Structure 1
Amino acid sequence: MKLKLISSVLSLSLASVLAACQTTPSTSSQKEAIHVKQHLQQTLQEYTWSYQPQQQIPPIVLSFQDNRIGIYSGCNRMGTDFSLNQNTLKTGNVISTQMACEPELMKQEQFAASLFQNHELTLNINTANPDQPILTVHSADGQQYQFVGTATPETKYQGQGEIVFLEVAPETKACVGVAAQQCLQVREIQYNAQGLKTATGDWELFYGQIEGFQHDPKLRTIIRTKRFTLKNPAADQSKYAYVHDMTVEQELVK
């Protein structure tokens, strides 16, 4: 009886060891797959990605947020849901606004929509140059497209920006910063939850630039900006950086 008991215990122990040996690599592989997916998704979200098929027209730009891709190619705003399985991107139906644009832009837009319309795409990211990483998209038909990354403002300034609405006057004024220059005139606009204006600030000279905003002396403009607090501003520099997020109103002035 004792021999049988010892034999049974040894058999059970050996079976447990074999089971452990078999499951450990599987568990390790699962953890590695999760790590690869998380790293890829984080990198995708830290940049916007541009691919320019033609030099004469705007590029195709991708932005990733949570489980959604925003696609813009110079005309309509498009987007689709996506999921990741390691470096495989699975997309859903592409939805779009319905503006009519120039034929070349529409043709490029159709290409961008077809690339991401209900497909499984293989992604590879080269981060050897973190300022301009390269995202290679391998399409379902075997073609490869390289998108160049540009850090999002949140990545660049290492934090979340505060939403600030600014009215920008058509006229600039002479001002002195590091040197004599022309400064924008701006005033802050505040809105309530219903989108109605509740307060308008005083006009002030704006030293520096609003990233992504092109001033037009023929237009009175209200823009939505993201205001980031700089971590180590220079002595002659504002403690804030402003990034153009959206144009809210434009009015032609005579």
Structure 2
Amino acid sequence: MKPLLLRFLLAATVSTLSACAMNANTPSSSHTPMSDAATTAPATLSAYHWDLAEARDASGAEQTTWVPPKTRGGAPLRLDFSDQRLSVSGLCNRLGGSYSVDTNKITISSIVGTMMACNDEGVMQYEQAVGQRLPQATVWKISESSTGPRLTLGFTDGAQWTLAGTPTDATRYGSTGEIQFLEVASQRVACSHPLIPNMQCLNVREIQYDATGIKTGQGDWQAFYNEIEGYVHQPGVRNVLRIKRYERAQVPADASRYAYVLDMVVESAQE
């Protein structure tokens, strides 16, 4: 990764920290009006990732145009709501905008996104349609189903999207994630574990950056007895990772009090 891009990404991360911090289940064919009795707690809205499960028009007919292109391997269209920011993932580019809620009403700003070119024209068209559609949402509710929470978004034309909820990492672990930067060496190292003979651990050291993304320090190399969720180590490849460390609300037997989740690969180099 080019140094200028690396510095930009790191500076953006530090700035954010200082400022504050349809592979779906088979959908139901029912189509019911939005209810004022629905759960409309903003905290609940931001506690889940929301994957598009079905889309129906005002008469209840299924709108198949909102099924993601098959070339995407069945990955769902995912919405995340946090700190008045909406993020859209599962496309070619990442889309986002601001949002606000007032009881069961929702307002979503114009959607903007990164400008990466996509190889599939169908995905590009779908992405553009999603960006145009979301600001037309006017109402929302969360209801419970046998498979977990469901978010319903209602649009100006009476159509509705139903999205299935998956707990965020903060919800799963019961704490707010702390961002850290870890450099992971290209090779694992031998480490001692009473229950695992010949254990091999990641070899890591913590990296510190200032507010502009300039590296200011680093810790000592040490064996890392945990694994990093979402990270697959390739021997011979050194990485700098941005991770989120969560303190578990409930610590399983023989487990660390912390859980580590990959947030982003900042730098990668073959060695």
TM band (smaller chain): 0.7 to 0.9
Alignment RMSD: 2.7
Q: Does 1:148 align with 2:149?
A: no
Which residue does 1:188 correspond to in 2? 206
Give the conservation status (yes or no) of the 8 Å contact 1:73–1:112: no
Distance 1:140 1:175, change over 3 A: farther
Q: Which has the higher contact order (CA 8 A, sep 6+)?
A: 2
Distance 1:136 1:190, change over 3 A: same
SS at match of 2:179: strand
* Distance in 2 between residues matched to 1:158 and 1:107, nearest whole Å: 38
Distance 1:221 1:108, change over 3 A: farther
Which residue does 1:7 correspond to in 2? none
How far off is 1:250 after superposition? 1.7
From 133, 139, 159, the counterpart of 1:122: 139
Which residue does 2:26 correspond to in 1? none
Which residue does 1:28 correspond to in 2? none
Q: Percent identity?
A: 38
Give the conservation status (yes or no) of the 8 Å contact 1:71–1:79: yes
Distance 1:145 1:36, change over 3 A: closer
Give the conservation status (yes or no) of the 8 Å contact 1:78–1:94: yes
Corresponding residue pairs, total: 217
* Distance in 1 between residues matched to 2:186 and 2:207, nearest whole Å: 16
Distance 1:175 1:51, change over 3 A: farther
SS at match of 1:199: strand
Structure 1 segments unaligned to the other structure (5+ residues): 1-32
* Distance in 1 between residues matched to 2:164 and 2:250, nearest whole Å: 28
TM-score using structure 2 length: 0.69
Q: Deviations over 1:130-158 (max 9, x none)?
A: x8422122344444333221222222222
How far off is 1:80 after superposition? 1.7
Which residue does 2:51 correspond to in 1? 50
TM-score using structure 1 length: 0.73
Q: Deviations over 1:39-59 (max 9, x none)?
A: 431111111212273461532
Give the conservation status (yes or no) of the 8 Å contact 2:141–2:151: yes
Give the conservation status (yes or no) of the 8 Å contact 2:38–2:141: no
Query: Which letter does structure 1 place at the counterpart of 2:150?
Result: I
Q: Deviations over 1:11-38 (max 9, x none)?
A: xxxxxxxxxxxxxxxxxxxxxx7x978x
Distance 1:81 1:231, change over 3 A: closer
From 108, 111, 133, the counterpart of 2:129: 111
Kindly name which structure, 1 or 2, has the bigger radius of gyration based on alpha carbons: 1
* Distance in 2 between residues matched to 1:124 and 1:61, nearest whole Å: 17
Structure 2 segments unaligned to the other structure (5+ residues): 1-35, 54-66
1:170-185 → structure 2 map (5 Å cutoff): 170-175=186-191, 177=193, 178-180=195-197, 181-185=199-203
Which residue does 1:100 correspond to in 2? 117
- Higher-helix-fraction structure: 1
* Distance in 2 between residues matched to 1:222 and 1:233, nearest whole Å: 27
SS at match of 1:110: helix
Which residue does 2:182 correspond to in 1? 166
